[in-house]
Amino acid sequence: MRDLRQLEKYRTIGQPNRPEEMQYGGAFRVVHKGNVLRIIASNDAGWDHVSISRMTACPSWEDMEFVKRMFFEEGELCWQYHVPVGDHININPHVLHIWRKHDFEMPLPPRWMV
């Protein structure tokens, strides 16, 4: 994950006051193609996690790709999970997540399949 202090102009008011928290976490508000994206980023327990939400619809593929490029380094592989229905915790029906596990190399399908 990027050093999120680079995204300070998007950070919402009242976020972490300690520098170590600001580097890898916080809440952000970004406008992308006319849509307000509310973003929460964290780095905890060996995971980078970014949640992205819009008010009335799930983020689009373009929204997700835009946020991925903002919050993660160019060479970092990140992913979305589609967990079993029994594991869903649906607090907001219009939120999607991007994850990256530290010290883990996610296998990729053959290049011709991507």
What is the band of 67 on the pLDDT scale with cuts at 50, 70, 90? Answer: very high
Supply the pLDDT for residue 21.
65
- The pLDDT score that the predictor gives to residue 60 is 96
- Which tokens sit at 63? 């929204």
What pLDDT does residue 17 have?
59
pTM of this structure: 0.86
Structural domain for 72, as ranges: 4-113
pLDDT tens, residue by residue, 68-105 = 999 999 999 999 988 888 888 877 889 999 999 999 98
- Average confidence (pLDDT) over 100-113: 91
Q: Tokens standing for 103? A: 């010290």
| pLDDT at res. 62 | 96
Number of domains the chain is built from = 1
pLDDT level of residue 15 (50, 70, 90 thresholds)? low
Task: Note the pLDDT of residue 82.
Answer: 87
Q: How many other β-carbons are positioned within 10 Å of the β-carbon of residue 28?
A: 22
Across the strands, what pairs with 48? 43, 100
